[in-house]
Each structure stands twice: as structure tokens, then as C-alpha cells.
């Protein structure tokens, strides 16, 4: 049987950037075996050491999850489409059944007039919006369009959780902030902008890191929680807190040119853990800071989250409960997959084992220790590297960033060998050479140094702080990104 396997953005590196691969196979297992035979580097990302499909990788045949069919033995027919859906971080639900006891003044009636003449909203619906309390987790890429549109729509109380400051690198996508706000608290910047859009909206700023200690208390005073986070520990924390409190979780995630959106509401459908029972190992899925994101993409996904939030408040339309929308900006294609509640889910299943919030850093394998510690004897500072250059020392400088990063800026004399290509390019390096490895911040190069040490290289050092610290300590003309 000839079938097409859709490849998500994080895995396209291993298929020559192809977004789909045609393979032969009568079952899902046979098709996936053909895929990894043609592209061997995919195997470790799809399968664990025991050869089982990883729990954070879901496979769909057309729009059906194979976990609810015959799993790997699910039969295929010519023309079927398999979708690999890794974690990246139906029905109508209403949070307000009747119009609450709030009123609109003359200015508000004029402001919301285009809503009021819609029978799906009208005066009753606008009052629901005014009485609604929505909590946005994050004032970044997803939180920016979400907060702007919910404020413009007239959501009466908007809570925002964030503890970051505005950075120049945020401005390419975080449209709620301006150049003049660089260095300011994101909450102050967002609150100021929302007040300009709609002074009738009450903004509650929660300048804190969301944690197991404060999540339940924070969430309890809101009707709907909207997840605009960018890391897995917080995603699982948001999900679990929403399940325990019985609140809808409006989900969105983004990476490069791809986005996902859904509504997880355990009272009426699956939760996030039903889709992804466990997170990927730390470092396996690149963050937006490492992998990049198209600036327009969070606008699209954030607006979808805003629409779903408004629909939940109004009790109108068909929400994304039980459905996952995938968006590919390069193809300008939306796809929809069905989600089902997992009866064995540890928090919303028939016999839940999670009855309180846990340590999500530990659950996701994240520690407070540095991600890679190569040891002082395997590190070199930018000033020490500059001294080696000035004295004419014989050494090899290896840049393990991606070609797109190398084109932005580079250290003179560096040789580009992207980290993921190191295994097949070891012949480019000699164990007799002194080797200095660098990346953007020192994290990826630290992993590269560990790999080289295991491969028998002993005269190898990691540039502490990467090219960012080189710019600070040695050459300010090298741009940061």
C-alpha cells in the first residue's frame, strides 16, 4: 500500500526538509519502518530504546488516533495519510449559562455595536463578555494577540501571568509591546496598551512565575485559562490545575512555521495529558529561542485562542473540545485531528492517580542545574580564546550553530559544522588537533563537546557563553540575536 506520512517541522531536518514522505506499508508499523529505513536519523525521535513508539509522539491515520484503533497493527489502504504529531512547550461549552447582572452604558453600546447587532452575540452575549474573567498565561507571542482581541471584544476582567521584561528579540512577534517598552515589565507594557484599546477592561497583573504552589489559587478566580506558555513543565501544570478546578484550558503552541490549537476541558472531553501522556526528554524539542518562529504565526494561533475563548463565554458554535487543529503556514494548510478522552489518563481518567499538583520540573526532567557541565578543564572564556588567536596558536574553531545563524554573525576563522551533523562529519576533525567549539550561548556546544569526548577527542574545549559572550567581552561589533 502506498501511503503518505506528514512530517512536522521539528522532524523535517531528518527528511531533507521534506514535509511529507511517501512509503509502502500495509500497517502503521510497516509504514513507519519504511520511513525510518529511508531516514534513519528519525528513529531515535520516534522510538525509545526498547523499540516502542515514544509516548509524546502521536500517530494519526487520516484523522483518527491509532491508539483508539489497533495501534501499530492498524491497517492501511492506498492513499491513506499518516500524521506524526509530536508535542511542541466537539461540542459547545458555556461558562455562563445566562446573562449576568451587568449593564452597558451608552459608550459601551456604541463601542460594541457591531457585536450587538449580531444575533449570536446581541446584548445578552455582550453582557456575558463583560462579566467574564479570563486568565492568560504569558504576555508573549501568543498572549499578545490574545490579550489585544479579548480586550477589544469587551472581556471585562483579564488576568495576565508573566514575570519577564520586554526584549528587542520579542518585538518581531509580541505585538502588544513597542520599542519604547524594551526593558520594561511585560505586564506594565501590556496593561498600558490594553488601557489604550479599551479602558473598560480590568487588567489583573500577576507578576510571578506560575508554580504548583500558586496555580490553584490564581486559577480559582477565573472562568477560563488560556495557555500561551513556551515550556513543557508549565503546560502540564496549567493542564492539571485546570482539570482539578474543572476549568477550560484554551491551548496553543507554535514552532517555526507550524502551530497547534485546541480546547482541553475534562468535564466534556480530553485533557492535554490524554494527547501527550508524557513530555519529550529535555533538549529533544528545540525552543523558539533556539529553533525560531515566524513572527506572524503566533498572531494566527493567538487569535484562534481568542475566538475559542469568546465562543466558550458566549456558549455559541462548536468549540475545539475533542479536536486538534494543525496549521502549516508554509503550505497555508489547516488540518483537523480528532481527540479522545483517555480512560487511563492519570488525572482525568476513570481512576486518576494525580489528585494534586506535582513537581513539574522533575516530571519533565528539568533540573536547576546547568543543562550541560563539561568541567572547567574543558571550557575556555572568550578573552582566553582571543588571546590564543592573537598569539597565533594552532587550533580549530568549530561553530555548531545552524547555517542560518552562521549567516547572521560569526567568529573569524570558525568552521561551520552544525551539531546534528557531527556524527557523520567526525572525519573533518582530528583527535590530534586542539579544538574549540562554540554556539550561540554555550549550551549546544557543551553537548557537542560531550559527544566529542565520548568519541575519543581529549583536546577539546567549549566556549563559555558562546558568541553572545564573545560580543560582550571581545567584539561588540558582532551582533546579538
CATH of the domain at 384: 3.40.250.10
Residue 9 maps to a domain = yes
187 contacts 144 by C-beta, under 8 angstroms: no
In the chain, the number of structural domains is 3
- The reported pLDDT for the residue numbered 352 is 95
- The reported pLDDT for the residue numbered 333 is 96
Same domain flag for 237 and 178? yes
Residue 325 maps to a domain = yes
Residue 26 maps to a domain = yes
Q: Which of 426, 398, 402, 390 is nearest to 414 (CA)?
A: 398
Domain end residue (candidates: 32, 56, 86): 86
Same domain flag for 212 and 359? yes
Residue 103 maps to a domain = no
Residue 148 maps to a domain = yes
Same domain flag for 172 and 289? yes
Q: How far apart are CA 174 and CA 145, in angstroms?
A: 8
Q: How many alpha carbons fall within 13 Å on the CB side of residue 160?
A: 29
Residue 207: give the domain boundaries: 132-363
- The reported pLDDT for the residue numbered 370 is 47
Specify the CATH number for the domain of residue 61. Answer: 3.10.20.30
Those residues with Cβ within 8 angstroms of residue 24's Cβ, 6 or more apart along the chain or in another chain: 1, 2, 3, 30, 31, 34
Which residue carries 574543558 as its cell? 378
Q: How far apart are CA 67 and CA 137, in angstroms?
A: 30
Same domain flag for 73 and 172? no
Phi, psi dihedrals of residue 33, rounded to the nearest 5°: -65, -40
Rg for the chain (alpha carbons), in Å?
25
Specify the CATH number for the domain of residue 254. Answer: 3.40.50.720
Same domain flag for 350 and 383? no
Same domain flag for 355 and 380? no
Same domain flag for 358 and 263? yes
Sheet holding 333-338, edge to edge: 202-206, 157-161, 133-137, 224-227, 249-255, 258-264, 323-328, 333-338
Q: How far apart are CA 135 and CA 11, in angstroms?
A: 33
- The reported pLDDT for the residue numbered 41 is 87
Scored b (16 or more CB within 10 A) or e, 234-268 reads: bbbbbbbbbbbeebbbbbbbbbbbbbbbbbbbbeb
Q: pTM, whole model, 2 decimals?
A: 0.82
Residue 165 maps to a domain = yes
Among candidate residues 242, 271, 288, 345, the one labeled active-site is 288
Same domain flag for 351 and 280? yes
Same domain flag for 203 and 307? yes
Same domain flag for 153 and 13? no
Residue 73 maps to a domain = yes
Same domain flag for 263 and 290? yes
CA distances 134 to 122, 291, 452, Å, are 20, 30, 49
Q: How far apart are CA 133 and CA 137, in angstroms?
A: 13
CA 163 to chain centre: 18
Q: How far apart are CA 80 and CA 22, in angstroms?
A: 10
Domain end residue (candidates: 339, 363, 387): 363
Q: Grid coordinates standing for 140?
A: 508573549
Domain end residue (candidates: 86, 108, 141): 86
Question: Tens digit of pLDDT per residue, the chain (481 long)?
Answer: 899 999 988 788 789 888 899 999 999 999 999 999 999 989 988 998 888 888 788 999 998 899 888 889 999 999 999 999 887 764 445 666 665 689 999 999 999 999 999 999 999 999 999 999 999 999 999 999 999 999 999 999 999 999 999 999 999 999 999 999 999 999 999 999 999 999 999 999 999 999 999 999 999 999 999 999 989 999 999 999 999 999 999 999 999 999 999 999 999 999 999 999 988 877 666 677 777 899 999 999 999 999 999 999 999 999 999 999 999 999 999 999 999 999 999 999 999 999 999 999 888 887 554 445 677 889 999 999 999 999 999 999 999 999 999 999 999 999 999 998 999 999 999 999 999 999 999 999 999 999 999 999 999 999 999 999 999 999 999 999 9
Residue 20 maps to a domain = yes
CA distances 189 to 77, 144, 203, 320, 474, Å, are 54, 11, 12, 31, 33
Q: Is 364 a catalytic residue?
A: no
Q: Is 274 a catalytic residue?
A: no
91 contacts 262 by C-beta, under 8 angstroms: no
Which residue carries 487520516 as its cell? 62
Q: Grid coordinates standing for 155?
A: 472581556
The 3 state secondary structure assigned to the chain is CEEEEECCHHHHHHHCCCCEEEEECCEHHHHHHHHHHHCHHHHHHHECCCCCECCCEEEEECCEEHHHCCHHHCECCCCCEEEEEECCCCCCCCCCCCCCCCCCCHHHHHHCHHHHCCCCCHHHHHHHHHHCEEEEECCCCCHHHHHHHHHHHCCCEEEEECCCECCHHHCCCCCCCCHHHCCCEHHHHHHHHHHHHCCCCEEEEECCCCCCCCHHHHHCCCCEEEECCCCHHHHHHHHHHHHHHCCCEEEEEEEECEEEEEEECCCCCCCHHHHCCCCCCCCCCCCHHHHCECCCHHHHHHHHHHHHHHHHHHCCCCCCECEEEEEECCCCEEEEEECCCCCCCCCCCCCCCCCCCCCHHHHCCCCCCCCCCCCHHHEECHHHHHHHHHCCCCCEEEECCCHHHHHHCCCCCCEECCHHHCHHHHHHCCCCCCEEEECCCCHHHHHHHHHHHHCCCCCEEEECCHHHHHHHHCCCCCCCC
Q: Grid coordinates standing for 52?
A: 516502542
393 contacts 464 by C-beta, under 8 angstroms: no
Same domain flag for 11 and 78? yes
Q: How far apart are CA 348 and CA 243, in angstroms?
A: 7
Amino acid at each position: 500500500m502506498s501511503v503518505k506520512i506528514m512530517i512536522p517541522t521539528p522532524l523535517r531536518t531528518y527528511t531533507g526538509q521534506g514535509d511529507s514522505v511517501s512509503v509502502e506499508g500495509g500497517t502503521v508499523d510497516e509504514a513507519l519502518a519504511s520511513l525510518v529505513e529511508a531516514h534513519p536519523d528519525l528513529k531515535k525521535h520516534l522510538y525509545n530504546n526498547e523499540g516502542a513508539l515514544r509516548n509524546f509522539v502521536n500517530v494519526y491515520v487520516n484523522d483518527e488516533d491509532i491508539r483508539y484503533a489497533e495501534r501499530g497493527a492498524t491497517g492501511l489502504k492506498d492513499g491513506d495519510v499518516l500524521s506524526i504529531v509530536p508535542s511542541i512547550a466537539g461540542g459547545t461549552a458555556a461558562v455562563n449559562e445566562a446573562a449576568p447582572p451587568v449593564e452597558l452604558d451608552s459608550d459601551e453600546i456604541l463601542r460594541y455595536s457591531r457585536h450587538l447587532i449580531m444575533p449570536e452575540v446581541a446584548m445578552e452575549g455582550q453582557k456575558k463578555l463583560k462579566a467574564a474573567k479570563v486568565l492568560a498565561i504569558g504576555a508573549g507571542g501568543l498572549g499578545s494577540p490574545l490579550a489585544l482581541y479579548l480586550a477589544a471584544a469587551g472581556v471585562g476582567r483579564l488576568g495576565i501571568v508573566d514575570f519577564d521584561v520586554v526584549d528587542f528579540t520579542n518585538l518581531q512577534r509580541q505585538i502588544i509591546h513597542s520599542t519604547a517598552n524594551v526593558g520594561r515589565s511585560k505586564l506594565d507594557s501590556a496593561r498600558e496598551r490594553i488601557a489604550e484599546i479599551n479602558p473598560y477592561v480590568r487588567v489583573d497583573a500577576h507578576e510571578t512565575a506560575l508554580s504548583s504552589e500558586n496555580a490553584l489559587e490564581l486559577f480559582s478566580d477565573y472562568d477560563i485559562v488560556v495557555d500561551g506558555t513556551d515550556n513543557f513543565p508549565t503546560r502540564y501544570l496549567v493542564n492539571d490545575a485546570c482539570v482539578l478546578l474543572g476549568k477550560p484550558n484554551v491551548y496553543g503552541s507554535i514552532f517555526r512555521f507550524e502551530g497547534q490549537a485546541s480546547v482541553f476541558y475534562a468535564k466534556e472531553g480530553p485533557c492535554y495529558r490524554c494527547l501527550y501522556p508524557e513530555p519529550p526528554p529535555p533538549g529533544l524539542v528545540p525552543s523558539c529561542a533556539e529553533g525560531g518562529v515566524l513572527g506572524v504565526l503566533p498572531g494566527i494561533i493567538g487569535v484562534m485562542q481568542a475566538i475559542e475563548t469568546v465562543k466558550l463565554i458566549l456558549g455559541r458554535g462548536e468549540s475545539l473540545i475533542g479536536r486538534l487543529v494543525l496549521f502549516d503556514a508554509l503550505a497555508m494548510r489547516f488540518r483537523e485531528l480528532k481527540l479522545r478522552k483517555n480512560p487511563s489518563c492519570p488525572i482525568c481518567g476513570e481512576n486518576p492517580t494525580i489528585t494534586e499538583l506535582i513537581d513539574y520540573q522533575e516530571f519533565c526532567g528539568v533540573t536547576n542545574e546547568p543543562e550541560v557541565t563539561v568541567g572547567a578543564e574543558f571550557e575556555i572564556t572568550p578573552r582566553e580564546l582571543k588571546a590564543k588567536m592573537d598569539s597565533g596558536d594552532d587550533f580549530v574553531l568549530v561553530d555548531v550553530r545552524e547555517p542560518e545563524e552562521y549567516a547572521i554573525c560569526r567568529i573569524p576563522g570558525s568552521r561551520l559544522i552544525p551539531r546534528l551533523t557531527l556524527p557523520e562529519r567526525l572525519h573533518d576533525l582530528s583527535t590530534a588537533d586542539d579544538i574549540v567549539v562554540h554556539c550561540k550561548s554555550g549550551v549546544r556546544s557543551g553537548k557537542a563537546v560531550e559527544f566529542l569526548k565520548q568519541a575519543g577527542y581529549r583536546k577539546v574545549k567549549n566556549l563559555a557563553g558562546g558568541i553572545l559572550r564573545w560580543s560582550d567581552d571581545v567584539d561588540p561589533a558582532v551582533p546579538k540575536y
